[in-house]
Amino acid sequence: MAQQNAEKQYRHEYKHEISFADLLTIRARMRAVAEPDPHTKSGRYLIRSLYFDNLSDKALREKIDGVNGREKWRIRYYNLDPSVIHLEKKSRLSGLGTKYSAPLSAEEAQRIVDGDTDWMIDSQYPLIRELYCRMKDQGMRPKTIVDYTREPFIFGPGNVRVTLDYDIRTGLRCTDFLNPDCITIPAGDDAIILEVKWDAYLPDIIRDAVQLPNRHAAAFSKYARCRIYG
């Protein structure tokens, strides 16, 4: 039986909300010391995610309350190309994160959006079966679309990934995320997020490259930001 893919271990990760001037600085530094993700187009790609939550907005409330051990569920694809779609569960504990994923066809993703879920219990992927149980037992449902642009960089030692995310947009209550014409609007202020992830160690060259004066790691959730309108 095929298994969902899991990262081998929890990874360190932190986020900074930065200014546009900071973005220009970090972009220049990363281009000098790291490689762009090979999956990008002109150094960036559009990410569209559909986030899930239960009837009491558990994921949203835990994020706002700063609960240490929490998880979030989403379906994600890139550059509005539905040929590759993944269901993802991301868990976070004490500043460490790990991610599980399973592939979905466009038809399967649309069936989940439409509430047609009975097929999920017979899926070969445990993660899809787990989401089915959450949807049945906890009333978990799609909540909102989250769009943003990402500029990703990779650095081999330490398995480092540095990303610059901006133009964060919300689909409000829209869940028709496979529709390329689905209207999204800016999610509040024009936030720019620097995110750094690594395994056992963060090389000094990357630590120095992402260092900014008067910036401190802070919790930031694109999902929470995109729920500001309800």
The DSSP secondary structure of 139-179, one letter per residue, reads --EEEEEEEEEEEEEEETTTTEEEEEEEEEEE-TT---TT-
Domain residue ranges in the chain: 5-226
Tens of pLDDT along 3-32?
455 445 789 988 889 999 999 999 999 999
Tens of pLDDT along 144-157?
999 999 999 999 99
Enumerate helices (H) and strands (E) in the chain, giving the number of each: 6, 11
Which numeric CATH code is attached to 5-226? 3.20.100.30
Q: What's the distance, CA 49 to chain centroid? A: 7
Q: What is the pLDDT of residue 218?
A: 66
> Cα–Cα distance between 59 and 63 in angstroms, integer?
6
Tens of pLDDT along 156-213?
999 999 999 999 999 887 889 998 888 899 997 889 999 999 998 999 999 999 998 8
